[in-house]
Amino acid sequence: MLLRRTCATLLAVLLTSGAAVTAAAAELPEPLAALLSAASIPPQAAGIVVMRGNQLLIDHNSSVSMQPASTMKVLTTLAALEQLGPAFRARTELRSSAELENGVLKGDLIVRGGADVDLNEDVLRHLLQALRNQGIRKIRGDVILDRQLFQPARPELGQPPFDEYPWAYYNVIPDALLTHNNLLRVELRSSASELSLVMLPELEQVKVRAELQLIDAPCASWEKDWRAPEVRRRGEQITVVLHGRYPRNCNKSTSLDVLDHHDFLARLLSAQWRKLGGSLSGEVREAETAGLAPDSRLLAEHQSRALPELLRDVNKNSDNTMARSVFLMLGSLQADAALGSRPLPADDSLASTPMRADLAIRSWLQAQRIDATGLVLENGSGLSRLERATPAQLAAVLQAGLRSPWMPEFLASLPIAGTDGTMRRRLKEGPATRRARIKTGTLNGITAIAGYVYDASNQPCIVVAFLNDEHVAGGAGRTVLDGLIDWVARAAP
């Protein structure tokens, strides 16, 4: 296949530790230099690599360590696919060492988190229904939420907000027992004079209330005057209060990450168990230490979708929370004989799961003979002001993707120009339409792409470009990168 072509000579140039840009490397073509100039983006703020087979078409600042934004997901997802395999599934387990007698579980129920990114309201209900199907109607003990697979078990605690929208889904920080992405879905329906709210899912003693001023404004601009939601506590009751202004005659919905992870799962589980006719004598509490009772038995389990399906969500939709979960999986899980997952052996010298994930990725890069100089990993999603990579590194990762036995699964995860994912509205007409698979990346002052483009002779090219400059705002950077993709699609040997 065309996409399996290798370029050992090029990799030797790009990836040898300390290698400099060669004199023979192609400079920026005049049309691309003109696009950068028109956008007021200085050449030194751009890092670009374009490769066709063993030919280097563009090499501009390829060895400069830059902010890659969400194109970092290309590295995280391919390393996960290669190390965990395409049949890998994460799982959630309900376990107990207590006896069951006359419908009463005479002890604690353990909800063991296994980085199951598909764990949601429906899955939790089915897990609890499995208990009822076994005759369990009462838990005479506590429900213990075991998030200890990741260390720290509650990575979101104490973290400063990444930006001014900490309640937004893209900012959700995962743990090993993240449920329903910790999101409250609120449906807002307004008339000329009234506003009604519906909150989903149902949580025990949690409600939502609006202190929103109705205004005359286009419904499409409903988020313009949105202010940070507020969480109020009164005893066991939690009220989420919405602030700001909202248009009249407007129906919209939003998802909010505003509740503590323990509160969300404990109250969701309590509400679901009660609706199924179950009762609980104790409390819902967090596990304090890792490790299960040696005599605990499995009562119910759920397995996530296979890894390639998860990676499609990560890359096509640029799902930061799922990407962070996959990154942490690399530091905590390995495939078992049942094609599921099991914890990695404990290692006191690497207690932090992010540290172990970092080591796993660097070990994979070393096996691929890809120089990691200048690479900085924080969470593997690119939603970071710390993460860095060079264009040459991501180009080499993409080259490794073509050599991988799981190449079809990896390519299938990337957005298709003018068709789906984050590229569905870009390049809808032109030579690159449906002929480019491109991972995008965007942060304030950063825009980036990394992927594959077929040229005019139907030859696959690897394209990586980072723009790190304030002038990328307002779509100016995207125009430059779309112009680059278009240039590659029109290029002839």
Peptide bond into 201 cis (omega under 30): yes
pLDDT in tens, 3-50: 333 333 333 333 333 333 333 346 799 999 999 999 999 999 999 999
Amino acid at 390: T
d(CA 260, CA 438): 35
The end-to-end CA distance of the chain, in Å, is 18
pLDDT at position 293 over 90:
no
d(CA 356, CA 487): 40
d(CA 44, CA 145): 50
Find, among 414, 481, 492, the residue nearest to 446 by Cα. 481
d(CA 394, CA 184): 36
pLDDT in tens, 158-197: 999 999 999 999 999 999 999 999 999 999 999 999 999 9
pLDDT at position 93 over 70:
yes
d(CA 71, CA 73): 5
Cβ atoms of 269 and 280 closer than 8 Å: no
Is pTM beyond 0.85 here? yes
Distance from chain centroid for Cα 432:
26
pLDDT band (50, 70, 90) for residue 340? low
* Mean pLDDT, residues 84-89: 96
Cβ atoms of 209 and 239 closer than 8 Å: yes
State the pLDDT at residue 15. Answer: 39
Percentage of residues in the chain with pLDDT exceeding 90? Answer: 87
pLDDT band (50, 70, 90) for residue 453? very high
pLDDT in tens, 51-85: 998 899 999 999 999 999 999 999 999 999 999 99
At 66, list the tokens: 């830059």
pLDDT band (50, 70, 90) for residue 339? low
d(CA 131, CA 149): 23
pLDDT at position 345 over 80:
no
pLDDT at position 128 over 50:
yes
* Mean pLDDT, residues 356-360: 95
Question: What is the phi/psi pair of residue 277, to 5°?
Answer: 85, 15
pLDDT band (50, 70, 90) for residue 337? low
pLDDT in tens, 391-432: 999 999 999 999 999 999 999 999 999 999 999 999 999 999
Cβ atoms of 325 and 175 closer than 8 Å: no
* Mean pLDDT, residues 439-445: 98
State the average pLDDT for the chain. Answer: 92
pLDDT band (50, 70, 90) for residue 346? low
State the pLDDT at residue 8. Answer: 33
pLDDT in tens, 242-263: 999 999 999 999 999 999 999 9
pLDDT at position 469 over 80:
yes
Distance from chain centroid for Cα 270:
28
pLDDT band (50, 70, 90) for residue 347? low
State the pLDDT at residue 336. Answer: 63
Amino acid at 75: L
Domains of the chain (ranges, CATH numbers): 2-87+309-490 (3.40.710.10), 91-156+262-303 (3.50.80.20), 184-256 (no CATH)
Sign of the torsion angle spanned by Cα atoms 16, 21, 26, 29: positive
* Mean pLDDT, residues 194-206: 97
